[in-house]
Chain A
Amino acid sequence: MAPPIARRSRPPPSLPQRARQPSRGGAGRWVPREVAAAGRPLRRGRAAERGAGRRGGARNTMAAATAAAAPGRGRRGAPMYSQKELTSKKRDEFEDILEERRLSSDLRYAMKCYTPVIYKGLSPCKPNAIKSAVLQSEQVQYVIKQLAKEMGESPDIIQEEAMEILDEMGHNMQLGAVRFFAFTLSKIFKQLFQRVCVNEEGMQRLQHAIQEHPVVLLPSHRSYIDFLMLSYLLYTYDLALPVIAAGIDFLGMKIVGELLRRAGAFFMRRSFGGNRLYWAVFAEYVKTMLRNGYAPVEFFLEGTRSRTAKTLTPKFGLLSIVMEPFFKREVFDTYLVPISISYERILEESLYAYELLGVPKPKESTSGLLKARRILSDNFGTIHIYIGQPVSLRTLASGRINRCPYNLVPRHLPQKPSEDIQEFVSDVAYKMELLQIENMVLSPWVLVAAVLLQNLPAMDFELLIEKTLWLKGLTQTFGGFIEWPDNLCAKKAIMSGLTLHSNIARLVDGHVVLNDKGVEDGGVGEVVFKHALAILTCATYRNQLLNVFVRPSLVAIALQMTRSFRKEEVYNYFSFLRDVFSDEFIFFPGISLKDFEEGCFLLTKCDAIQTNQQEIYPTNKGGVIVSFLSAMFTPFVEGYQLIFRYLSKEAKEAFTEKQFIPGVRNFVFQLLEKGNTQCYEALSSDMQKNALAALVLLGAVKKEKMSNGFTYNVNQEAVNKILDMFDARIPVQKPVAARL
């Protein structure tokens, strides 16, 4: 621990920005009226205020496009996803909040005076008051009456049903439970993690946002830790605790479910598309809390934990619910806050790998949780939490939303969102995810994993260091947010990564190898399985790089596959890949050309290619980069080809997803056993689902809703054609290229 030094080199985070307006005396200034109550310094516990020692430097000074909401117009006009400012990123610095917890009493911390900053327009009320407000709301009452009429039942019975739904769903936030969590989580987090780092400036921005308008927190989702950690963080900084949309599965856990409920979780059923009453009650519940400014509403755009550490494509349901009060002008504005939570080592990493390989996820249960406590003795490194710039929904929507539909129907009537609203919601969802991705912190280990996976089965340690350092430079050029541990030289940093991830890889005789225990003994099948397990776990870390690399890499692949220098051809192939991988990686809808240009720009920036009006060709030294980039995505290109081949040859006439996954898994498994492919990642159910979804999108597979879920029909010819394009046997034809 460094000696106590002056804690901050920057001005202390104190008054809200507003207060810093030039003041020239006189009343009626901007400041006094609004800020008097609001202007208080962001605070954490007392240790921080005393200026206890902080770790010795190594602040990350590279940078973030704070991505102030670029006002968007229509997609065809200037899209709201503007290309990131790739050259001059400025990101905030991190502070470790555990440091303080290690220094002072957890009990005192848990019992501290908690008077959170709240929304200025808040009319305080208890959780139960919200429930009854929801039940009595015009919205819910309308649906109750409608259902009563349609089903010929008495409204009272349906009202009762609604009440039950509310009771199942509703949170019951209580300070006692919050304090309990504050205490236990302090203990647990200190056990599990070395550091929990957060950008304090982000917290400060959040503090202002919470006071000004209703706030929606949109964290990335990699682990169950996510929402616990976020609430813990807000408690630490004395901000209003969020209410969190959690899956109903948690209620299966005795005691814990109830505890979570008291800590502010509310529970939603996994699917309730058809249930109008449930939908009405749920939507109104969320909106009521948002409108009243009762608490920040938190949910995961990705819908579920990403098992691959790659950002999942967004779900739109909850997002459109929280946007509606603004569309209907029941609130002046709503802030959407993207939050990136990055784990140096993911708690659930091996569980995820099993799940991806088809070993079902254990049901959430309290006994399971207790069994999992052995992980407490393990080390999970550092967590980085980056609170992004709050994005004003009003700014995003300006000029995009036709107001008419909302003015001509009473606002309490359920209304299907118009097409342009749906499109807007989708754009916002993608924008938020891209903002999350932008501020995800990448650890050295992520780079190591990416290098290692290209050099299996074993790699010379020195070479690994060299390549990792090289990749670090490249990643930074591409705008990746690398947090290199305090002043550590490359070797030490990589060693410490290896130590932390000793379950994945280890050093043997100066070579790094994957730690696929038990491969030696056992049958062929078992060997393949174990090996797949190791690779998928390792890939989880490489995957964290992919969304940063995807645009230049797809350009690189397109260059290699088309063997042409003509920009138009390369773009066509790029665009094809982008469509095929549209569920695999996060692309802002409808801006293929911009993505292509960004990819080219980044490749030019690292001297990998040169371009002119019509042509695009690799430089002499660019070959290394181009082949590295394309190799990084080879598992996806090959994996998709395998899956498509399965669909074109093996799949039955009509099948369900439940039939598809084991089918394709067996198909790939056999190929692996025979040694006909090395693409272990094709075993990942995540990739399999994404590939299927891509074919649906491309029109090669028809998806139909049946009574028992969806069934799929393959159009063999179309799939074959796509396969041919993939192999570059036939050129990709696209009329869009005209604008190049």
Chain B
Amino acid sequence: MVVAAELLLDLLIIMGLQSHLYVFLPLRQELLKWNGWGYNDSKFIFNKKGQAEFTGKRYRLGGMVLPTFKEWMEKTFGASLDHKTTSRATLNVNDVPPSIVKEEFLQDLRAAKISYSQDAEDRVFRAHGHCLHEIFILREGMFKRVPDIVVWPVCHEDVVKIVELACKHNLCIIPFGGGTSVSSALECPEEEKRTIVSLDTSQMNRILWIDEKNLTACVEAGIVGQDLENQLAESGFCTGHEPDSMEFSSLGGWVATRASGMKKTIYGNIEDMVIHIKMVTPRGIVEKNCQVPRMSTGPDIHHFIMGSEGTLGVVTEVTIKIRPVPEYQKYGSVVFPNFERGVACLREVAKQRCAPASIRLVDNAQFQFGKYVDLLRQISLSKGFNLLLFKGFDPNILCVATLLFEGDREKVLQHEKQVYDIATKFGGLAAGEDNGQRGYMLTFVIAYLRDLGLDYYVIGESFETSVPWDRVLDLCRNVKERIVRECKEKGVQFAPLSTCRVTQTYDAGACVYFYFAFNYRGISDPIHVYEQIERAAREEILANGGSLSHHHGVGKLRKRWMKESISDVGLGMLRSVKEYVDPNNIFGNKNLL
């Protein structure tokens, strides 16, 4: 693969990188881990001294040594550096199910000048998202079913051709964007007998135009979040959509899952940002006739598309709102004596509709974790600690809110004061900008931690929900407790990490994120146990009046609860749309319905 890539690279150089080359490279794939999260060069390791270290230079944490992290691992999970599991070093190509593609289809592809690959690594790379069981399979097993072929359209027209060909040959298409799904949405249905085509949108990554008068940009759907922001920034704009996966996830993926970004308070969730969507379906192209802020033309067809999770077609082009890059950004943090007070404060902030760009409240367990991960934070907190103790804060109960303000300087400062004033009323104590900033930085590296845990018998996952304000506390407490109990019942030998944070505030409720991990030593089928516990946790969420998902989507992981979530009739409505748009189930990833 590497050799082939180099050859092709040479070829590219020779041919002068012309825009209408039909051999395109999955370059990005080369930068990313094949069996874990994120970039190849960025990961947590234990160095020779047994201290944790984050490698690579991409993140601010890069190269930093975390002397107490090991202690945290040991204390929290009972994990030990002596007990290590190792992933397979490379993919065993022989294990990969063979690619079965009819020659006629390949001929048609070539005729349409669409690049494709039947390479095992390419196909496995697109056979999964980032659910725990998927990563576990990559490390130790093999998927029963992977795509038979990967295609790389470079524009809307290519997609139209591919969908036409799929209909003609009766194939199954699974659209693939950034591959960061955590709902088993990318897994190939085992029983699918047709050829599975993975439609990789990564080469459709251009900004087609920017309309400064209306503050909109038309962008191809395959663009990755970070690239989009960087390229817009060159013209002084941004979308402001920042999901935690923004380095890897794509615009099309956001639309297909109803994504939500950290700064939704200012910029809105994806459904608030999208002005126009073009989607290719087996029935044809669906889009609106104009690019307007709102229209009253029956139910909004965008809402059939957003959250359709690849079951109806491929999103190819999206017109999205843009904003001038904010003049000023300021981080902040507040310490609360306990989680209850913290939630009460967030509720008040939401009530007064003065939430900053981002406001997050982490519980004590995550506060403790942050302490161990970040060297600098430790120092600054220990300085602050005396103050905290003096004020009667119990370090084993207190919790922290991190804040991000954006806008013009004066307003930010004003806004900041307003929020801190509210916080004070709830016993909050300002804990500085640095702590806030580090909190947000952790968001991006936290995903790398799972890979480290996996090396030491620790498995874990995050999941989310949305819940009315009055139930936030009960839900958080009960779900955490349920996880602990389930672990115990299932024979997990060490108490798990079971922690949560409130990550988004709305008028009527909040989004809550749970992290859950445990040491699986002594358990013969850890993934099964893990899945049982996760399911129990979801049951608990639903019983506490929480939603099935706030922004991760349903995929195949949470399908079983769809009927309960949207009623029989609701499900029937979605089914009838699917039946009309895709009667032959070309988009057969079996998500959602």
| Residue among A28, A403, A411 making CB contact with B77, cutoff 8 Å | A28
Residue of B at shortest CB range from A412? B470
Residue of B at shortest CB range from A22? B493
Can you list, as one digit per residue, whether each of A14-30 has a CB less than 8 Å from chain B (1) or not (0)?
00000000100011111
B495 and A29: CB pair below 8 A? yes
Give chain B residues whose Cβ lies under 8 Å from the Cβ of A406. Answer: 545
A332 and B482: CB pair below 8 A? yes
Which A370-410 residues sit within 8 Å CB-CB of chain B? 403-404, 406-407, 410
Which A1-55 residues sit within 8 Å CB-CB of chain B? 22, 26-30, 33-34
A27 and B75: CB pair below 8 A? yes
| Residue among B76, B470, B477, B545 making CB contact with A332, cutoff 8 Å | B477
Which A316-351 residues sit within 8 Å CB-CB of chain B? 329-330, 332
Given A27-B78, A403-B542, A403-B543, do A329 and B495 touch, yes or no (CB 8 Å)?
no
How far, in whole Å, are A34 and B482 apart by their CA atoms in the complex? 15
How far, in whole Å, are A34 and B481 apart by their CA atoms in the complex? 12
Given A329-B545, A407-B545, do A27 and B74 touch, yes or no (CB 8 Å)?
yes
A332 and B74: CB pair below 8 A? no
How far, in whole Å, are A416 and B456 apart by their CA atoms in the complex? 52
Give chain B residues whose Cβ lies under 8 Å from the Cβ of A410. Answer: 470
Which A409-425 residues sit within 8 Å CB-CB of chain B? 410-411
Instruction: Indicate if B170 sits at the interface (CB-CB under 8 A).
Output: no
| Residue among B474, B495, B542 making CB contact with A33, cutoff 8 Å | B495
B78 and A26: CB pair below 8 A? yes
A30 and B80: CB pair below 8 A? no
Instruction: Indicate if B575 sits at the interface (CB-CB under 8 A).
Output: no
CB distance from A585 to the nearest CB of B (A): 36
A28 and B545: CB pair below 8 A? no
How far, in whole Å, are A26 and B470 apart by their CA atoms in the complex? 39
Residue of B at shortest CB range from A329? B544
How far, in whole Å, are A34 and B478 apart by their CA atoms in the complex? 16
How far, in whole Å, are A33 and B498 apart by their CA atoms in the complex? 13
A26 and B475: CB pair below 8 A? no
Given A29-B495, A410-B470, do A329 and B478 touch, yes or no (CB 8 Å)?
yes
Residue of A at shortest CB range from B480? A332
Residue of A at shortest CB range from B73? A28
Give chain A residues whose Cβ lies under 8 Å from the Cβ of B471. Answer: 329, 411
B78 and A29: CB pair below 8 A? yes
How far, in whole Å, are A448 and B549 apart by their CA atoms in the complex? 66
CB distance from B19 to the nearest CB of A (A): 54
How far, in whole Å, are A28 and B76 apart by their CA atoms in the complex? 5
A332 and B495: CB pair below 8 A? no
A28 and B470: CB pair below 8 A? no
How far, in whole Å, are A329 and B519 apart by their CA atoms in the complex? 29
B488 and A30: CB pair below 8 A? yes
Can you list, as one digit per residue, whether each of A73-97 has a CB less than 8 Å from chain B (1) or not (0)?
0000000000000000000000000
| Residue among A28, A29, A30, A332 making CB contact with B481, cutoff 8 Å | A332
Give chain B residues whose Cβ lies under 8 Å from the Cβ of A26. Answer: 74, 78, 80, 494
How far, in whole Å, are A332 and B471 apart by their CA atoms in the complex? 13
Given A28-B494, A406-B545, do A411 and B470 touch, yes or no (CB 8 Å)?
yes
B482 and A28: CB pair below 8 A? no
How far, in whole Å, are A407 and B468 apart by their CA atoms in the complex? 10
CB distance from B368 to the nearest CB of A (A): 12
How far, in whole Å, are A410 and B519 apart by their CA atoms in the complex? 39
Give chain A residues whose Cβ lies under 8 Å from the Cβ of B470. Answer: 410-411
B545 and A30: CB pair below 8 A? no
- The count of chain B contact residues (Cβ–Cβ below 8 Å) is 24
Q: Which of A28, A30, A329, A410 is packed against the most chain B CB atoms within 10 Å?
A: A28
B544 and A28: CB pair below 8 A? no
Give chain A residues whose Cβ lies under 8 Å from the Cβ of B478. Answer: 329, 332
Can you list, as one digit per residue, whether each of B58-76 has a CB less than 8 Å from chain A (1) or not (0)?
0000000000000000111
How far, in whole Å, are A404 and B545 apart by their CA atoms in the complex? 8
Interface residues on A, range: 10 to 19
Give chain A residues whose Cβ lies under 8 Å from the Cβ of B488. Answer: 30
A28 and B474: CB pair below 8 A? no
Give chain A residues whose Cβ lies under 8 Å from the Cβ of B475. Answer: 329
How far, in whole Å, are A362 and B477 apart by their CA atoms in the complex? 50
B494 and A30: CB pair below 8 A? yes
Residue of A at shortest CB range from B547? A407
Residue of B at shortest CB range from A399? B539
A29 and B545: CB pair below 8 A? no
B543 and A28: CB pair below 8 A? no
| Residue among B74, B477, B542, B564 making CB contact with A28, cutoff 8 Å | B74
How far, in whole Å, are A403 and B478 apart by their CA atoms in the complex? 15
CB distance from B523 to the nearest CB of A (A): 14
A329 and B474: CB pair below 8 A? yes
CB distance from B474 to the nearest CB of A (A): 5
How far, in whole Å, are A33 and B474 apart by their CA atoms in the complex? 21
A29 and B544: CB pair below 8 A? no
| Residue among B74, B75, B80, B543 making CB contact with A329, cutoff 8 Å | B543
Give chain B residues whose Cβ lies under 8 Å from the Cβ of A30. Answer: 488, 493-495
How far, in whole Å, are A411 and B467 apart by their CA atoms in the complex? 13
Give chain B residues whose Cβ lies under 8 Å from the Cβ of A27. Answer: 74-76, 78
Residue of B at shortest CB range from A26? B78
Give chain B residues whose Cβ lies under 8 Å from the Cβ of A34. Answer: 495
CB distance from B349 to the nearest CB of A (A): 21
Can you list, as one digit per residue, whether each of B489-522 has a CB less than 8 Å from chain A (1) or not (0)?
0000111000000000000000000000001000
B474 and A330: CB pair below 8 A? yes
How far, in whole Å, are A22 and B471 apart by their CA atoms in the complex? 37
Give chain B residues whose Cβ lies under 8 Å from the Cβ of A329. Answer: 471, 474-475, 478, 543-545
Q: Which of B75, B78, B543 is packed against the most chain A CB atoms within 10 Å?
A: B543
CB distance from B446 to the nearest CB of A (A): 19
Can you list, as one digit per residue, whether each of B399-412 has a CB less than 8 Å from chain A (1) or not (0)?
00000000000000
CB distance from B567 to the nearest CB of A (A): 10
Give chain A residues whose Cβ lies under 8 Å from the Cβ of B77. Answer: 28
| Residue among A28, A404, A411 making CB contact with B495, cutoff 8 Å | A28
Which B445-477 residues sit within 8 Å CB-CB of chain A? 470-471, 474-475, 477
Which B560-579 residues sit within 8 Å CB-CB of chain A? 564
Give chain A residues whose Cβ lies under 8 Å from the Cβ of B76. Answer: 27-28
Which A660-692 residues sit within 8 Å CB-CB of chain B? none
Give chain B residues whose Cβ lies under 8 Å from the Cβ of A29. Answer: 78, 493-495
How far, in whole Å, are A332 and B473 apart by their CA atoms in the complex? 12
CB distance from A404 to the nearest CB of B (A): 8
Give chain B residues whose Cβ lies under 8 Å from the Cβ of A403. Answer: 542-543, 545
How far, in whole Å, are A22 and B542 apart by their CA atoms in the complex? 34
Residue of B at shortest CB range from A327? B543
CB distance from B463 to the nearest CB of A (A): 18
How far, in whole Å, are A638 and B488 apart by their CA atoms in the complex? 55
Can you list, as one digit per residue, whether each of B540-554 has a CB less than 8 Å from chain A (1) or not (0)?
001111000000000
How far, in whole Å, are A411 and B473 apart by their CA atoms in the complex? 14
Residue of A at shortest CB range from B564? A404
Give chain B residues whose Cβ lies under 8 Å from the Cβ of A332. Answer: 477-478, 481-482
Give chain B residues whose Cβ lies under 8 Å from the Cβ of A411. Answer: 470-471
How far, in whole Å, are A320 and B156 apart by their CA atoms in the complex? 61
Residue of A at shortest CB range from B519? A28
CB distance from B440 to the nearest CB of A (A): 28
Residue of A at shortest CB range from B79? A28
Which B129-171 residues sit within 8 Å CB-CB of chain A? none
How far, in whole Å, are A510 and B474 apart by their CA atoms in the complex? 69
Q: Which of A26, A33, A411 is packed against the most chain B CB atoms within 10 Å?
A: A26
CB distance from A572 to the nearest CB of B (A): 40
How far, in whole Å, are A78 and B169 apart by their CA atoms in the complex? 51
A residues at B contact (CB < 8 Å):
22, 26-30, 33-34, 329-330, 332, 403-404, 406-407, 410-411
Beyond A27-B75, A330-B474, A403-B542, 9 additional contacts (C-beta under 8 Å) are: A22-B493, A28-B77, A28-B495, A29-B493, A29-B494, A329-B474, A332-B477, A332-B478, A410-B470
Q: Which 4 A-B pairs have the closest CB atoms?
A: A28-B78, A407-B545, A27-B75, A26-B78
Q: List 8 A-B contacts (CB under 8 A).
A: A27-B75, A28-B74, A28-B494, A28-B495, A329-B475, A329-B478, A332-B481, A411-B470
